[in-house]
Amino acid sequence: MNSDILWDILIVGTGPAGMGAAVNARIREKKVILLGAENGSDRLAKAPEVKNYLGFPEISGKELMDKFIGHAVGAGAVLEKGRVETIYPGDEFTVVTRDNQLYRSRAVILATGVQQARLLPGEKEFLGRGLGYCATCDGPIYRSKEVAVIGETPEAEEEVNFLAEICSKVHYFPSYKKRGLQVDPRVEVYKEKPMAVLGDKRAEGLALPDGKLPVAGVFIIREVAPAEQLISDLKLEDKSIVVDRMMETNIPGVFAAGDCTGKPYQVGKAAGEGLTAALSAVSYLDKKA
């Protein structure tokens, strides 16, 4: 269990903003952990060429992302694969990942990237009432029942397979390329794209192009959890986390940087904000100490 360690700064997200934050927090000698995708931002890594990150006139997104990771890890930041599901504030923060790992940290920097996914109609209403983001956490509620899973990342397959073990039937809607899909043969895989979550007081099914699919529970597994899901009472505006010039959010000890704080969605802006968020977090910790 990771919860033995009390981190100074836990960074949610491993893109340019997270790496910018990690480098600067490490230079200030804080204990830093980055949680997110192992290889950083997939969106950046897929850019064939980045022309506007100052100092590197011609570089591929993949090379740039690798340099960023090398810089942060070389500076002593710990990078762990993990999708953060929930952050509980308190005297110290408790951070829970999808696979139920717990982390404790004195400050948190949100660098979760731009939320590209639009919420599905009904998603917000039924959240916690038949709809969840974490199969490991809520799956057992649906033992021997039918569930639907919408997966936006191959990592959803693990959850689908876990559900296949305990549910009577799993309907799977992968929205990524289906080549190489590794799901339990009992799972029914769909090509259709669900249009809405249906229900009255609770989620009762999905709206598909050719009619309703009734299920007892719905899971949506995204690459990045929506920011409003991560921590309660976090102030958002137009889906961006509201920050001041020091990258402070409305919650003391929680800072944010990069695309999750709004446009422009650019590497240089994200890296610079990560730096500022880290220095603000350091100053927050130093005042507390």
269 in contact with its own copies (CB under 8 A): yes
How many residues of this chain interact with its own copies, rule: CB under 8 A? 36
User: What is the footprint of its own copies within residues 20-39 (CB under 8 A)?
Assistant: 20, 23-24, 27
Site string for its own copies, 43-82 (x = CB under 8 A): --------xxxxxxx------x--xx-xx--xx-------
279 in contact with its own copies (CB under 8 A): yes
Asked whether the beta carbons of 102 and 94 are under 8 A apart, the reply is yes
What DSSP element (H or E) covers 77? none
Q: What is the DSSP string of 254-283?
A: EEE-GGGG-S---HHHHHHHHHHHHHHHHH
216 in contact with its own copies (CB under 8 A): no
Residue whose CB is less far from its own copies, 159 or 273:
273
Residues in contact with 22: Cβ distance below 8 Å, sequence separation at least 6, in sequence order: 11, 32, 34, 72, 75, 77, 274, 278
Instruction: Using the rule CB under 8 A, give the single segment among 93-101, 140-148, 226-234, 268-276 that binds its own copies.
Output: 268-276
Taking the CA of residue 134 as centre, how many other CA atoms within 13 Å lie in the half-sphere pointing to its CB? 20
- Show the tokens assigned to 96: 């829970």
- Please return the burial class of 38, using the count of CB atoms within 10 Å of its CB with bins 0-12, 13-18 and 19+: exposed
Instruction: Give the span between the Cα atoms of 197 and 208, in whole angstroms.
Output: 9
Residue whose CB is less far from its own copies, 210 or 238:
238
Instruction: Using the rule CB under 8 A, give the single segment among 14-22, 40-48, 82-90, 161-169 that binds its own copies.
Output: 14-22
* Residues lying near its own copies in the complex (CB under 8 A): 16, 19-20, 23-24, 27, 51-57, 64, 67-68, 70-71, 74-75, 243, 245, 261-262, 264, 266, 268-276, 279
